[in-house]
Chains A and B, each alone.
Chain A
Amino acid sequence: MENEVPLIKVTIDGQEIRVPAGTTIMEAARQIGPSVAPPAMCYYKPLQGSGGKCRACLVKVSAGSEKDPRPMPKLVASCITGAQDGMVVENFTSPEVVEARKGVVEFLLINHPLDCPVCDQAGECHLQDFAFENGVGEKRFVEEKRTFEPEDIGDKVQLHMNRCILCYRCVYTANQLTEKRVHGVMGRGDHAQISTYIKNSLESDFYGNVIDVCPVGALTDKTYRFKSRVWFSKPVDAHCDCEKCSGKVQVWYKGDEVIRVTARKNQWGEVEDFICNTCRFDRKKTSDWVIEGPSKVARNSVIAQNKYGLNQGKKPEFALNYAATNFKGIDDARDYNQNLDQIKKSEDYKALMQKNDKFFSKEKSLK
């Protein structure tokens, strides 16, 4: 073989692996498996130059290489640091790394609105997973969060700047997939925001991919907005004969209806093939697609919960049983047939009415 790349030995959390020279620590860890792979919020393998920003993937290098076994003085971002021969990396086994990662979770969440109950991304949000797996349950931030005015950046893409974690993935996507980038990061510090310059709107055949690369719910699909929770829909792999892109997509069904189309993602949440806007926004009929079969969904994913409808019958059954067993316990001695006058005379009723009056008068004064 020509240009044979020498293999180097890397030890991550006690597990050895041989990878070609030039591989990053992150890629080496991903080859071992999810048990040692550091989390990534900004790194996205298909996008050149991404990574190093979120600091979620910090790891401790306890031995630099075979030749120079000194540890690195600081924690390093595994997605941009190249592995060396004989390198020993500590990820989940290092208390220092675990502590630093807790800090990163906290930093990412302090200005995040935590509006998961109304967010379309909930259920497939990388920040949710990252915070759940690496964070602490309590918050120490009591100040006001920074907020942004809503902004319209395109007819099919919704921007919720408050949720953004500034991973720059969408900027790289627009740089590398489309001819002209019209959106970018404006301002600096925690008031930096993704925006278009002078109210420009995203226009190209591939801009829809910014929705897929966004790790949080900052960029969402307007055609899918508020249609369904992710875990009530069922993804199937499908393809079509598209002249612009590969046509390999995931079609999300709710019942018999196609509610959205996304690109196929791998184990790490990275897009396998970027798809065009026609596939994403316009082909919303089953007849547009050749169905290949149900998509692989990770067992621990919330999407897997309702996937085959196994649990759907269980919950009402349980409720009925519960109601039936507790029905007997209800106290029947109460007087059901009080007439309306009697009720109006009672103290409870008067107190309730007073409360109501107070409430409504306050509302009026506010107006």
Chain B
Amino acid sequence: MANDIKILTEHINIPGIETFEVYRKAGGYNAVEKAIKKMSPEEIVEEVKKSGIRGRGGAGFPMGMKWSFLAKPEGVPRYLVCNADESEPGTFKDHYLMKNLPHLLIEGMIVSSFALGANKSFIYVRGELMYVVRILEKAIEEAKAAGFLGKNILGSGYDLELVVQPGGGAYICGEETALLESLEGKRGNPRNKPPFPAVKGLYQSPTVVNNVESIANTPWVINHGGEEYAKIGIGRSTGTKLISASGHIKNPGVYEITLGLPVDEFMNSDQYLGGIRDGHYLKAVVAGGSSVPILPANLFYKTANGEDRLMSYESLSDGGFPTGTMLGSGGFIAMDETTCIVRNTWNFSRFYHHESCGQCSPCREGTGWMEKVLHRIEHGHGTMSDIDLLVDVAKKIEGNTICPLGDAAAWPVASAIRHFRDEFEWHIKHPNEATKLGAVYMGAEILA
């Protein structure tokens, strides 16, 4: 399989690629020239639609479709907002991309803004990454000096102002409507939908919110054509995906993989993760950032039908949640048999409790409740009824909230209990052993 196609990270190893000169020499900003001089905005949208690229932020919504939903009323400005508020535990791909290839994002922003007819676009960067904000601002200055940004870009009469805005450091501001509220200077509470941002977004104007990685894909689509892009990948999962791998693996880091890569190859070949560290075995995998359901090792390599599992949107979600998970934002966390699933679930739950915005009641109260119960189980004060209580609370949060944070908090807990119920029961039955330092339940099904 052609796994060597690199769309985003092709030039990442060239020294000085973060400066404008080197990036331009490596073929950068060709997409801007081609798009603005030779193509109309409609043609660009059409190319992106053809490419079949799906949103890389987590939900996997087709990007071309999102663009075509954008309302275009007369006399109202349109906005493009780049969501660089990457805060999902386990995901660090956008950070890597922006730090190393700031001009790739800016090139993508120019092309996408041109396609959507936006004259002012925003990059909302996570507040903790102040140095990335400075890198981006420097890159914007360089692009402006070269005439790719600002008034009358390349003599075409198209103006674009690019603003980098650091966030305040809340996870919830990665949700698109909360991000828009935050960008407007308000408290980052998600909005009720409908109206969707494509109709009423930033400052009540039509807005498109896209992930960094999605936008960074557009220059390649312009240069090579949408049909060419659609050839990469498998089925409806087209193109490549950045996976940020962490956990008990030999080679952690950010990898660009072609979607459709077999999970076995990704996990065990030396080109990628290199397998679990020596002398240990895989116990569980969180395939797409902390909010997706956890998978035990035996379900990870094979789908519900017994086929080999692939790194693609469809294959990972195969069979729904009982036997599947999600590709999500590509935060791949592998855990070996020394990991305590109860402690891990509690840790995730603690994160969601801390980050819930407190607007709607199921999420505000439910995340705290789940965290407290899990804390009790982990510290040896659990009762058997707590397990069913957790399942019930997760069920009552899921789907009943304004934004997907409620789902994201409920899925890890529900899936951990679904797949590792015996471990929870062991914690409750044997509190003295379970609370010892480093004690881990060894009865779980472990694949070599």
Contact = CB atoms under 8 A, between A and B. Distances in A.
B346 to A, nearest CB: 14
Contact of A80 (B192, B355, B396, B400): B192
Given A185-B187, A188-B170, A189-B355, A100 B360 contact: no
A141 B369 contact: yes
A189 B362 contact: no
B354 interface: yes
Interface stretch (A49-57, A305-313, A355-363): A49-57
A52 B192 contact: yes
Interface string B315-347: 000000000000000000000000000000000
A189 B368 contact: yes
**What class of interface size applies to chain A in its complex with B?**
35 or more
Contacts of A99: 396
Contacts of A188: 170, 172, 355-358
B359 interface: yes
A53 B403 CA distance: 11
Given A54-B360, A166-B361, 15 more contacts: A55-B400, A55-B401, A103-B362, A103-B393, A104-B396, A107-B362, A146-B368, A165-B361, A187-B358, A188-B170, A188-B357, A189-B367, A190-B365, A190-B368, A192-B357
Nearest to B354: A189
Contact of B396 (A41, A100, A111, A191): A100
Interface string A46-84: 000001111110100000000000000011010010100
11 contacts: A52-B360, A53-B402, A75-B399, A104-B362, A107-B361, A110-B369, A143-B369, A165-B361, A166-B364, A184-B187, A192-B357
A328 interface: no
B356 A110 contact: no
Interface in B89-129: none
Interface in A87-129: 99-100, 103-104, 106-108, 110-111
B54 interface: no
A345 interface: no
Contacts of A106: 396
B364 A52 contact: no
A103 B365 CA distance: 11
Interface of B: 170, 172, 187, 192, 194, 353-362, 364-369, 372-373, 376, 389, 393, 396-397, 399-402
* B-side interface mostly: helix
Contacts of B396: 99-100, 103-104, 106-107
Contacts, number: 94
B179 to A, nearest CB: 15
A140 interface: yes
Interface in A137-189: 140-141, 143, 146, 165-166, 168, 184-185, 187-189
Given A75-B400, A107-B396, A110-B365, A55 B172 contact: no
A146 B364 CA distance: 12
A53 B400 CA distance: 10
Nearest to B192: A52
Q: Determine the main DSSP class of A at the interface with B.
A: loop
Contacts of B389: 140
A54 B192 CA distance: 12
Contacts of A165: 361
A108 B400 contact: no
A107 B365 CA distance: 5
Contacts of B170: 188
A143 B361 contact: no
Given A58-B400, A100-B400, A190 B362 contact: no
Interface in A189-207: 189-192
Nearest to B395: A103
Nearest to B396: A103
Nearest to A82: B194
Contacts of B358: 166, 185, 187-192
Contacts of A82: 194
Contacts of B356: 188-190
Contact of A143 (B355, B372, B399): B372
Contacts of B402: 52-53
A169 to B, nearest CB: 13
Determine which residue in B364, B365, B399 has the highest number of CB atoms from chain A within 10 A of its CB, and name it.
B365
A187 B353 CA distance: 12
A52 B193 CA distance: 9
Q: Indicate the member of A74, A82, A187 with the most B CB atoms within 10 Å.
A: A74
Given A75-B400, A77-B192, A103-B400, A190 B364 contact: yes
Contacts of B192: 51-52, 77, 80
Contacts of B355: 188-189
Contacts of B361: 41, 53-56, 104, 107-108, 165-166
A53 B399 contact: no
A51 B192 CA distance: 9
B365 to A, nearest CB: 4
A53 B365 contact: no
A108 B360 contact: no
Contacts of B400: 55, 58, 74-75, 100, 103-104
Nearest to A189: B356
A100 B354 CA distance: 24
Contacts of A80: 192
A159 B397 CA distance: 29
A56 B396 CA distance: 12
Contacts of A75: 399-400
A35 to B, nearest CB: 23
Contact of B360 (A53, A140, A184): A53
Nearest to B171: A188
B106 to A, nearest CB: 32
Interface in A29-52: 41, 51-52
Contact of A166 (B172, B359, B369, B399): B359
A75 B399 CA distance: 7
